[in-house]
Amino acid sequence: MRRREFITLFGGTLAWPLVARAQQPVLPVIGFLSSRGERDSVNVLAAFHDGLKQAGYDENRTVATEYRWAEGQYDRLQALADDLVRRKVSLLVATGGIVSVCAAKAATATIPIVFVSAGDPVQFGLVASLSRPGGT
């Protein structure tokens, strides 16, 4: 085998994994924002993962999740929410109280936000109305 053929063959072999990797589909990413810590959110995480499965999603196979935990330090929430928005997540899930939802809402007006509220989200100013939460 000539030197030039060997280099061409060897170079093509090294490039093949890069080509294969580039052809893999990009997964949609869910941003998970919580004012709590991961250890304090075991039940919430279990419900979140169960909901994904019921909706037909498999974490790391059909959807990816970026987790951000404020660990009770509410002043960190806005930076964490902003980071998720910069990562161009497809959806934001805000847990751990109204403070997480407010941080998520302040970070974006275009990414859908999913949250649970014990109070009235219209009264808190989180949504325009229950029938049209996005205001359109």
pLDDT tens-digit profile of 26-46? 889 999 999 999 999 999 999
Torsion, Cα of 118, 123, 129, 131 (10° steps): 30
Between these two residues, 97 and 22, which has the higher pLDDT value?
97
Question: Which domains does the chain carry?
Answer: 29-115 (3.40.50.2300)
What b/e sequence results for 6-36 when a residue is b if at least 16 CB atoms lie within 10 Å of its CB, and e otherwise?
A: eeeeeeeeeeeeeeeeeeeeeeebbbbbbbb
Average pLDDT, the chain: 83
Collapsed DSSP state (helix, strand, coil) of residue 66:
strand
Query: Binning pLDDT at 50, 70 and 90, where does residue 15 land?
Result: low
Query: Binning pLDDT at 50, 70 and 90, where does residue 6 land?
Result: very low
pLDDT tens-digit profile of 53-84? 999 998 889 999 999 999 999 999 999 999 99
Residue 92 β-bridge partners? 31, 113
pLDDT for 13 beyond 90 = no
Specify the pTM: 0.76
Tokens linked to 79: 């930076």
Answer positive or negative: Cα dihedral of 116, 122, 128, 130: positive
